[in-house]
């Protein structure tokens, strides 16, 4: 007969009961989310599959969109690269601190009294990194490592070759590739390398919450792509753009695959957008919008925009309300549980309650834009554009997304209201710390005037202007 040791049974029963009644820790839900901000450069509104394009394949971004929310009325705060990035990384209208135009070379940069999203995330215990284009200042005080980012692998200026070995890669050139201030070489194609560096950072920091700014220079000029990808699109009418977009899409796909392999994907908040509208010189398309990079029509600042956070946000949806890239700062803070920036008031809002349905109102009723003599404002579906020394146009985007019909006379009350709103917003701005080149201002004036008159501009660049004026 087997003797039963009741004391041992009682002890075992207590142990099993304790284990059974202790709730399992849900590690993913208890830790802060990782956050990745992916920025394309000069990408057109209509040049991604998830935005409706059937011309340029973007399979990885399209798959990502199935897990996320596609924004159809999302805007950046500027229509050119540097001021758009200044607004994005501070969550504030950049005109408030004089960052209205693209930064000229040398010793100028984004106001060092402004708190960046890198500063805030780093203070909250995040590992922070920038991979790619910076374009917010070349000298030491403006360097990414001084603006809240632990790691920087990329270039400081606005554009460069996609391959190593050009004049860009002379040590000390602001277009050079550097790693935390030191010149580095790279093999292959830069878009691929930016993806690879991001993957290395994710692997290294998989046990820490991280904030990554993956800042592609694709699809900004020069129009350069890998030969094998160009061959894939050899019969495409926009083969260079298609090839460059394909490589960027591949890089995003590899980053997402690594997140999944590390078990991090569900609790990673991902933003994907372009820094401004497609450019006139890179084969991009902003249709059905009017305008492109550099002007205040919708094609200049309404951008492809995708937000993904599988842990918190239901995917496979579209969001049609008015939103801004300024919201990325506030949304990231809220996701990370940060309540204080230690900086100046933000102009963006936390999108999460709007996307979960807890807040049914639009994130914004009004947005503003200005670069020297060109300004605009949106109020719900109304759009006002002002060109100094020429005049105004008022459009109703609900009925006229292409901005062709002027309502400024027949809707005088709405017109006056929006003029006053724009002027009130401008009254709180700082004078630009630097100005755009005179020839580009002349070109931009002609483009705005032509688009307001519903005609093709006589020229779209200083070179074209010189040729036109010399006819």
For 99-130, how does the pLDDT look when each residue is reduced to its tens digit (9 = 90+)? Answer: 999 998 778 999 999 999 999 999 999 999 99
CATH class as words, domain 366-469: alpha beta
Enter the pTM of the model.
0.92
C-alpha distance from residue 321 to each of 61, 73, 79, 283, 327 (Å): 22, 6, 20, 28, 13
pLDDT category, 17, cuts 50, 70, 90?
very low
* Cα four-point dihedral sign 293, 299, 304, 305: positive
Query: From CA 42, how far away is CA 273, in angstroms rounded?
Result: 10
Query: From CA 325, how far away is CA 273, in angstroms rounded?
Result: 8
**What's the topology of domain 32-356?**
Alkaline Phosphatase, subunit A (3.40.720)
* Cα four-point dihedral sign 332, 92, 42, 152: negative
Domain boundary assignment for the chain: 32-356, 366-469
210: left (phi over 0), alpha (psi -120 to 50) or beta: beta
250: its two tokens: 């591949």
CA dihedral 55, 61, 67, 70 (to 10 degrees): -60
Query: From CA 89, how far away is CA 109, in angstroms rounded?
Result: 13
Query: From CA 299, how far away is CA 285, in angstroms rounded?
Result: 9
Listed in sequence order, the residues at least 6 apart from 344 whose beta carbon sits closer than 8 Å to its beta carbon are 92, 96, 114, 115
Q: Is residue 320 over pLDDT 60?
A: yes
In the prediction, which pLDDT does 8 show? Answer: 46
355: its two tokens: 């996307």
Q: Is residue 22 over pLDDT 80?
A: no
Q: What are phi and psi of 345, to 5 degrees?
A: -60, 140
279: its two tokens: 């450019």
Catalytic residue among 60, 75, 81, 143: 81
The arithmetic mean of pLDDT across residues 299-322, rounded, is: 97
pLDDT category, 4, cuts 50, 70, 90?
very low
Catalytic residue among 60, 75, 99, 135: 135
Residue 81 bears catalytic tag? yes
Listed in sequence order, the residues at least 6 apart from 306 whose beta carbon sits closer than 8 Å to its beta carbon are 50, 61, 64, 65, 68, 69, 70, 71, 270, 271, 272, 273
- CB-count burial class (<10 Å; 0-12, 13-18, 19+) for 52: middle
pLDDT category, 59, cuts 50, 70, 90?
very high
| Residue 322, number of CB atoms within 10 A of its CB | 19
């Amino acid at each position: 007969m087997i003797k039963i040791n009741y004391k041992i049974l009682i002890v075992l029963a207590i142990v099993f009961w304790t284990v059974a009644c202790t709730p399992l820790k849900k590690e993913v839900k208890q830790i802060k989310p990782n956050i990745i901000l992916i920025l394309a450069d000069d990408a057109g509104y209509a040049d991604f599959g998830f935005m409706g394009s059937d011309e340029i394949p973007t399979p990885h971004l399209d798959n990502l969109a199935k897990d996320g929310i596609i924004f159809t009325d999302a805007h950046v705060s500027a229509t050119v690269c540097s001021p758009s990035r200044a607004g994005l990384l501070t969550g504030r209208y950049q005109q408030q601190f004089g960052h209205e135009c693209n930064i000229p070379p040398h010793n100028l940069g984004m106001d060092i009294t402004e708190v960046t999203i890198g500063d805030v995330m780093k203070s909250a215990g995040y590992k922070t990194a920038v991979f790619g284009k910076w374009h917010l200042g070349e000298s030491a005080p403006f360097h990414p490592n001084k603006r809240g980012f632990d790691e920087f692998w990329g270039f400081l200026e606005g554009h460069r070759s996609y391959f190593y070995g050009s004049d860009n890669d002379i040590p000390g050139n602001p277009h050079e590739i550097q790693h935390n201030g030191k010149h580095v070489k790279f093999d292959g194609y830069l878009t691929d390398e930016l993806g690879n560096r991001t993957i290395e950072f994710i692997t290294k920091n998989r046990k820490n919450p991280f904030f990554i700014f993956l800042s592609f220079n694709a699809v900004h000029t020069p129009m350069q792509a890998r030969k094998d990808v160009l061959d894939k699109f050899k019969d495409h009418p926009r083969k260079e753009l298609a090839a460059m977009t394909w490589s960027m899409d591949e890089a995003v796909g590899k980053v997402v695959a690594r997140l999944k392999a590390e078990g991090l994907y569900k609790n990673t908040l991902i933003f994907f957008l372009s820094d401004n509208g497609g450019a006139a010189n890179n084969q991009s398309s902003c249709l059905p919008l009017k305008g492109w990079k550099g002007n205040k029509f919708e094609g200049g600042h309404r951008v492809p925009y995708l937000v993904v956070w599988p842990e918190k946000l239901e995917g496979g949806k579209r969001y049609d309300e008015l939103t801004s890239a300024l919201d990325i700062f506030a949304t990231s803070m809220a996701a990370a549980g940060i309540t204080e920036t230690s900086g100046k008031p933000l102009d963006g809002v936390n999108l999460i309650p709007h996307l979960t349905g807890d807040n049914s109102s639009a994130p914004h009723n009004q947005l503003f834009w200005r670069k020297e003599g060109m300004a605009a404002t949106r109020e719900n579906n109304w759009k006002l554009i002002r060109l100094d020394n020429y005049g105004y146009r008022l459009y109703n985007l609900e009925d006229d997304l292409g901005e062709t019909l002027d309502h400024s006379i027949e809707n005088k009350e709405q017109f006056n209201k929006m003029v006053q709103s724009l002027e009130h917003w401008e009254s709180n701005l700082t004078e630009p710390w630097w100005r755009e080149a005179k020839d580009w201002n002349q070109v931009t004036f002609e483009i705005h005037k032509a688009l307001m008159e519903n005609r093709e501009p006589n020229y779209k660049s200083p070179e074209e202007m010189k040729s036109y004026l010399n006819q």
